[in-house]
């Protein structure tokens, strides 16, 4: 049995859970919850970065981050499933994943800014810089939303999780300003049951 160290709200963990479902690996992965703010949580021994997701493989090796775990799960499932073998499709999927992970990273920094940094220490220009990454990223995605055919790839899984995280922590305004992404999100939700099943409800 593999063990997934996780928190319910993490969009990066959600990537892994959706990938696991799509690849038919759910019954091979046990979920183990983490308290990210607890310094005694054993996560910091498993992943020196102290971040989720971390996946403990059957041989005891620990894999992180979500990109590495998705590639590992694809390998366990036989390869070429969520990480296409075709070179052009593979690099398109990896680039889409990088863009959506980057939007997530900027979004998370904004959330952590509010959560951990006292108001008087905030620097507006730095906040604006992160918001710019999000706005430009969403605009680029709206201009070229990927086609959804067959098994979703790592890029599409990450796009869905990124949009879900915007809904969770920000507001749903992106839906009206980005109608093609809105339609894409709904099509993904209809096609991939694990998306609804992994929605964080707090």
36 vs 190 by CB, closer to ligand GSH: 36
22 near 30, Cβ under 8 Å? no
Site for ligand GSH in 92-131 (CB under 6 A): 101, 108
Burial of 109 (0-12, 13-18, 19+ CB in 10 A): middle
The region of 25-33, 61-69, 71-79, 185-193 touching ligand GSH under the rule CB under 6 A is 61-69
Among 126, 97, 102, 132, which residue's Cα sits nearest to residue 114? 126
160 near 185, Cβ under 8 Å? yes
Q: Is residue 155 a contact residue for ligand GSH (CB under 6 A)?
A: no
Q: Is residue 31 a contact residue for ligand GSH (CB under 6 A)?
A: no
CA distance 29 to 7: 15
Give the number of residues in contact with ligand GSH, rule: CB under 6 A: 12
Q: Is residue 50 a contact residue for ligand GSH (CB under 6 A)?
A: yes
The region of 60-68, 125-133, 134-142, 177-185 touching ligand GSH under the rule CB under 6 A is 60-68
Q: Is residue 46 a contact residue for ligand GSH (CB under 6 A)?
A: no
Q: Is residue 12 a contact residue for ligand GSH (CB under 6 A)?
A: yes
Task: Write out the residues near ligand GSH by the rule CB under 6 A.
Answer: 10, 12, 36, 50-53, 65-67, 101, 108
């Amino acid at each position: 049995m593999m063990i997934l160290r996780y928190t319910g709200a993490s969009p990066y963990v959600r990537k892994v859970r959706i990938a696991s479902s799509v690849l038919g690996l759910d019954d091979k992965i046990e979920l183990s919850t983490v308290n990210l703010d607890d310094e005694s949580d054993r996560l910091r021994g498993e992943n020196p970065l102290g971040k989720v997701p971390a996946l403990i493989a059957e041989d005891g090796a620990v894999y992180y981050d979500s990109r590495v775990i998705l590639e590992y799960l694809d390998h366990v499932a036989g390869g070429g499933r969520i990480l296409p073998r075709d070179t052009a499709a593979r690099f398109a999927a990896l680039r889409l994943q990088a863009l959506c992970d980057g939007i997530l990273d900027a979004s998370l920094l904004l959330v952590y800014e509010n959560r951990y940094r006292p108001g008087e220490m905030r620097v507006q220009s730095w906040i604006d810089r992160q918001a710019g990454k999000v706005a430009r990223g969403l605009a680029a995605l709206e201009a070229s939303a990927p086609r959804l055919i067959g098994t979703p790839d790592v890029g599409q899984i990450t796009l869905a999780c990124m949009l879900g995280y915007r809904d969770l922590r920000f507001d749903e305004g992106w839906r009206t300003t980005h109608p093609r992404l809105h339609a894409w999100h709904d099509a993904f939700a209809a096609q991939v049951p694990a998306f609804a099943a992994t929605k964080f409800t707090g």
